[in-house]
């Protein structure tokens, strides 16, 4: 899913429209990898969350779940834009991102700001670029993936279907990946334990309809996690 930025000659053999799309992909990927590098990840988080999202959307399309929303989407663009969901972390201090222990309350408040910061960064990009659907999706992913179904999330405390569908989907993908991944302050959790935590969040952290979809696809999440394992 990532663009090839190793050889600029690749763009010379494309027509203008194709070259523009490839350049967008390359820029998106580069920006996303900068965030992952600062966050201490290898970048595999990007592939994993993109694939988790694709798995969920595939079942939703097949079963006509939330089709009134999804039918309006270009699924390829949505898949690409998810790469920028954590771009706001660029503005978070290294001492907080890389802290090996539990964050103090004031530090957690700072890291919570990455959702709004991500929105603002993408808004700045929008001002300097033609209107692009993938930027609109990216801004929604950035600003809403930490909201919770019961309204206890951040940055706006949205609840239920007031949370954009992009954010409700990304919440599942992002939390699952956070649970199974090793970080400076924790070990990675076994797949079955991560699934149990996700399932227990049905109707509180997560959209209950989407959790039913996740329950059908959890084994595929594990396959993706193994395929794109860090290291």
d(CA 139, CA 101): 30
Burial (Cβ within 10 Å: 0-12, 13-18, ≥19) of residue 185: exposed
Cis peptide before 155 (omega within 30 of 0): yes
Task: State how far the Cα of 98 lies from the Cα of 117, in Å rounded to an integer.
Answer: 19
Q: Is 130 exposed, middle or buried (0-12, 13-18, 19+ CB in 10 A)?
A: exposed
- Is the CA virtual torsion 13, 18, 24, 29 positive or negative? negative
pLDDT digits (tens, 9 = 90+) for 151-197: 999 999 999 999 999 999 999 999 999 999 987 778 899 999 999 99
What integer pLDDT is reported at residue 38 of this predicted model? 62
Please spell the DSSP secondary structure of 184-215, one letter per residue.
TTBPPPPHHHHHHHHHHTBTTTB-HHHHHHHH
* 80/66 Cα distance (integer angstroms): 20
- Four-point Cα dihedral 229, 227, 221, 23, nearest 10: 90
Task: Give the pTM.
Answer: 0.84
The answer to whether 78 and 166 are in contact (CB under 8 A) is yes
3-state secondary structure of 6: coil
Q: 3-class DSSP state for residue 37?
A: helix
Domains in the chain: ranges and CATH: 42-227 (1.10.3210.10)
pLDDT of residue 4: 41
Work out the number of other CB atoms within 10 angstroms of the CB of residue 158: 19
The residue with tokens 């993936």 is: 145
Residue 31's pLDDT is 72
Average pLDDT, consecutive stretches of 10 residues, N- to C-terminus, the chain (231 residues): 44 61 68 67 78 96 97 91 89 82 87 93 81 86 97 97 98 96 84 98 98 97 92 60
At 98 the pLDDT is: 77
């Amino acid at each position: 899913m990532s663009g090839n930025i190793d050889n600029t000659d690749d763009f010379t053999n494309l027509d203008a429209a194709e070259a523009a799309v490839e350049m967008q992909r390359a820029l998106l990927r580069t920006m996303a990898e900068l965030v992952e590098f600062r966050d201490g990840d290898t970048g595999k988080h990007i592939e994993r969350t993109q694939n988790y999202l694709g798995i969920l959307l595939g079942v939703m399309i097949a079963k006509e779940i939330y089709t009134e929303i999804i039918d309006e989407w270009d699924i390829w663009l949505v898949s690409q834009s998810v790469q920028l969901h954590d771009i706001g972390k660029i503005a978070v201090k290294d001492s907080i991102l890389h802290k090996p222990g539990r964050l103090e309350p004031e530090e957690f408040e700072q890291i919570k700001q990455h959702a709004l910061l991500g929105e603002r960064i993408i808004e700045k990009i929008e001002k300097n670029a033609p209107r692009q659907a993938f930027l609109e999706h990216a801004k929604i992913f950035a600003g809403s993936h930490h909201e919770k179904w019961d309204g206890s999330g951040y940055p706006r405390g949205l609840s239920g279907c007031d949370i954009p569908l992009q954010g409700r989907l990304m919440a599942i993908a992002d939390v699952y990946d956070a649970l199974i991944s090793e970080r400076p302050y924790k070990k990675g959790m076994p797949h079955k334990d991560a699934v149990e935590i996700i399932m227990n969040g049905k109707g509180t952290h997560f959209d209950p309809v989407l959790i039913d979809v996740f329950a059908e696809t959890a084994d595929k999440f594990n396959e993706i996690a193994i395929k794109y394992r860090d290291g």
